[in-house]
A and B are shown apart, each in its own frame.
Chain A
Amino acid sequence: GAGVSQSPSNKVTEKGKDVELRCDPISGHTALYWYRQSLGQGLEFLIYFQGNSAPDKSGLPSDRFSAERTGGSVSTLTIQRTQQEDSAVYLCASSLGHQNTEAFFGQGTRLTVV
């Protein structure tokens, strides 16, 4: 596709269940970001992948959160034992990864934990 694709677009899950959110970046983009946007909040950085470098996981809020990026392309964000405070829109972005390149955002996955 032409843009960053995220799936699912909406996810409702019960508290305590695990969820997986998927991001397909733009082809050829080496950098990939996950952000979280809670209601009334700004963008909270979660994790950053750049090429073959070790990911920057400094934004992950707890060890229930993890992310992988397979083959330098598709990324999956996994939240284990979901809590109500995990409810938010999870945004993925990708870029060419070098200086002054635009980050292109997906439409996000709206996660609701009930």
Chain B
Amino acid sequence: GEDVEQSLFLSVREGDSSVINCTYTDSSSTYLYWYKQEPGAGLQLLTYIFSNMDMKQDQRLTVLLNKKDKHLSLRIADTQTGDSAIYFCAVTDYGGATNKLIFGTGTLLAVQP
């Protein structure tokens, strides 16, 4: 089945850029998502990208997709302390054998003031 991997931890200084990486195994993944989980809260969708796109920008967020390498990244520009959270990438394959969301292990982003 689909396997989604992320690094566990990233520490950056306030104002720097953060890059969170994700790899996946199922090449038929059609939609790829980034979710954010703040302490004590549920997950919220941050942004998503369709598999026919290479890049998507949304204010301080940039999503890059390398389909050949099955690599997804989330760049947060001008990282703030409020960005400290766990970030999950997730993939799904609508129209395939299953439509379920498969999540990565999550990356804990710690922003130092």
Report which A residues bind B (CB closer than 8 A).
Answer: 4, 31, 33, 35, 41-43, 45, 48, 50, 56, 58, 91, 93, 97-100, 102-103, 105-108
Q: Which residues of A contact B99 (CB under 8 A)?
A: 31, 48, 50, 97
**A-B residue pairs in contact (CB < 8 Å), sample of 9:** A35-B103, A43-B43, A45-B102, A56-B100, A99-B95, A100-B94, A103-B101, A105-B44, A106-B42
Which of A43, A97, A100, A106 has the most CB atoms of chain B within a 10 A radius of its CB?
A43
A80 to B46, CA, bound (A): 35
Q: Which residues of B contact A107 (CB under 8 A)?
A: 41-42
Do A48 and B105 touch (CB < 8 A)? no
We find that the number of chain B residues with CB closer than 8 angstroms to chain A is: 23
Question: B88 at interface (Cβ–Cβ under 8 A)?
Answer: yes
Q: Which residues of A contact B103 (CB under 8 A)?
A: 35, 42-43, 45
- Decide if the interface of chain A is mainly helix, strand, loop or mixed: loop
A12 to B10, CA, bound (A): 33
